[in-house]
């Protein structure tokens, strides 16, 4: 009878160990799935980071190009403004000269 009780207790213990083993296996599988999911998320994050870094570098390059173009246009506008001013001075002098010539002609000089 004691042997039967011991056998029964051993059987219960084995069943409990089986449950514990299945639970541990389930937890391990869940852990592996989480690790795989995190690895995939990390890979996607690194890929996105690389993509954003490349986009930023392209924007930075474009900014430098546009800045250079703006500087060039500013210099060209400055030169054009100076030429227009010089032209206005010459036109004013020509107008004064013509006015003088007309006045001279009117006086009969």
| pLDDT, tens only, 9-58 | 999 999 999 999 999 999 999 999 999 999 999 999 999 999 999 999 99
**Cα 56-57-59 angle, rounded to 5 deg:** 65
Q: Is the pTM of this model over 0.75?
A: no
Distances (CA, A) of 104 to 33, 66, 90, 93, 95: 104, 56, 21, 16, 14
Token digits for 108?
């009969």
In this predicted model, what pLDDT tens digit does every residue of 86-98 receive, in sequence order?
A: 999 999 999 999 9
In this prediction, residue 26 carries a pLDDT of 97
In this predicted model, what pLDDT tens digit does every residue of 44-88 receive, in sequence order?
A: 999 999 999 999 999 999 999 999 999 999 999 999 999 999 999
């Amino acid at each position: 009878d004691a042997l039967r009780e011991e056998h029964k207790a051993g059987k219960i213990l084995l069943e409990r160990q089986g449950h514990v083993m299945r639970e541990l296996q389930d937890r391990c599988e869940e852990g592996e799935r989480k690790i795989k999911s995190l690895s995939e998320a990390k890979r996607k994050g690194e890929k996105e980071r690389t993509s954003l870094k490349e986009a930023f570098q392209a924007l930075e390059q474009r900014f430098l190009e546009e800045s250079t173009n703006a500087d060039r246009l500013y210099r060209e506008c400055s030169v054009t403004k100076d030429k227009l001013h010089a032209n206005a001075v010459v036109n004013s002098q020509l107008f004064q000269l013509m006015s003088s010539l007309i006045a001279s002609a009117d006086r009969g000089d």
